[in-house]
A = this chain, B = another copy of it.
Amino acid sequence: MSEKKNAVIGQSGGPTSAINATLAGVIEGCLNFEGIGTVYGMKNGVEGFLREDFVDLGKYFEDKENFEKLCMTPAAALGSCRLKIKEKEQFVKIFDVIEKYNIGYFFYIGGNDSMDAVAKLEKYRAQERKDVDVKFIGVPKTIDNDLCITDHTPGYGSAAKYIACTVAEIARDCAVYTQKAVTIVEIMGRDAGWLTASAALAKEITGMGADLIYLPERPFDAQDFLNEIRNRIEDTKKPYVIVAVSEGIKDKNGEYAAKAAMSGAVDTFGHAYLSGTGKYLENLVREKIGCKCRSIELNLMQRCASHIASKTDIDEARMIGNAAVKAAENGKSGRMMAFVRENAPEYKISISDIDISEAANLVKRVPDEFISEDGKNVNEKCISYMKPLIAGECAVKYKDGLPLFFKF
């Protein structure tokens, strides 16, 4: 039997509500695998790895309850970074540290950039350091759901659930008055409209929600938007209109809608004022139509409101973390873990792994077949795709009225 090797796990990119569930899954897998000795956590992703800033993860999980607590803690518990490794010295240093700490398993949880980092490390190993026995495995996470090949990404379901729930609640709030009013909800996703699309679930499931949904996949036409609002605000039975809009909508020239309109606006410092997309549409409606209008930016809450995380998402995120260890156990390296949805009426997912260099640096947008004909909403096919991802509620533990979080 071969000597034990150590494992290291890192988190990178923007936080999500599920990234710690994946971390829990990887840790669990490592602790259960005989072939692994110490399980290190790198603080702040490769940034911490490069400065050898490690946490001995094993000692935190002698109490198994901590896994549950970690799963329900938002944002990367090990810290995150935005560092892109590209310099030769960085690769050299990383392999030095790998050897120094006898690391045989390198797990990296992150989005597109992180998968790219793993792909590069694998390539470097294959080309320059074949002598080092280390497996590199990427585990996807991103609320944006814009990674290719995997059916969806861990983190998306919880963000989608937060958005759908919040839009449903906002719709109730907007419905109480008889005065005509427009509410614009600005949602994250610069290039892909998956998060904005999830606003459609509010009306689908609760009967009240967004009336119009503007994705970055379709060019935004301000005149057409104003016509839509005018027509809808005239509906006497329903005086409120709710619009879900991606922060990344662009006009037909590919210019951010808000940027194009706001050029020339300055603040008291004399600096160009860059309005958010929601605020831009709010001002547009107020100026051109004159009715009451407010905009709401869902902001960071989309990625950190773990108290309303999707159980499906959290369970799957933990599973995919666990599966990453299995893949490494089986000798795989340079792979990204991925969800495969079974082609069946009931939602069912299996976990697979794919060549990480195929997945990195590609953006998966909402496909044409998911967008309604007029381009201002999503269709039944998109709803069917999204609906199972927000299903189920987690048993969040509370203390004194607030969720219990885990801290290293």
Contact = CB atoms under 8 A, between A and B. Distances in A.
B265 A287 contact: no
Contacts of A283: 267, 269
A384 to B, nearest CB: 12
Contact of A205 (B208, B266, B267, B401): B401
B265 A403 contact: no
A178 interface: yes
A314 to B, nearest CB: 13
Given A74-B172, A265-B268, A268-B262, A403 B177 contact: no
Interface in A380-403: 387, 390-393, 396, 398-403
B400 A205 contact: yes
Give the copy number. 2
A23 B310 CA distance: 30
Interface string A261-303: 1111111110101010000000100010000001011011101
A304 interface: yes
Contacts of A308: 307-308
Nearest to A202: B402
15 contacts: A44-B178, A79-B176, A170-B300, A205-B399, A205-B400, A205-B401, A208-B405, A265-B267, A296-B297, A296-B299, A297-B299, A307-B308, A390-B401, A391-B401, A393-B398
A74 B171 CA distance: 10
A166 interface: yes
Interface residues of A, number: 75
Nearest to A48: B178
Contacts of A294: 299-300
A193 to B, nearest CB: 20
A213 interface: no
A227 B197 CA distance: 42
Contacts of A300: 170, 173, 183, 294, 296
Interface in A295-326: 296-297, 299-301, 303-308, 310
Interface in A228-256: none
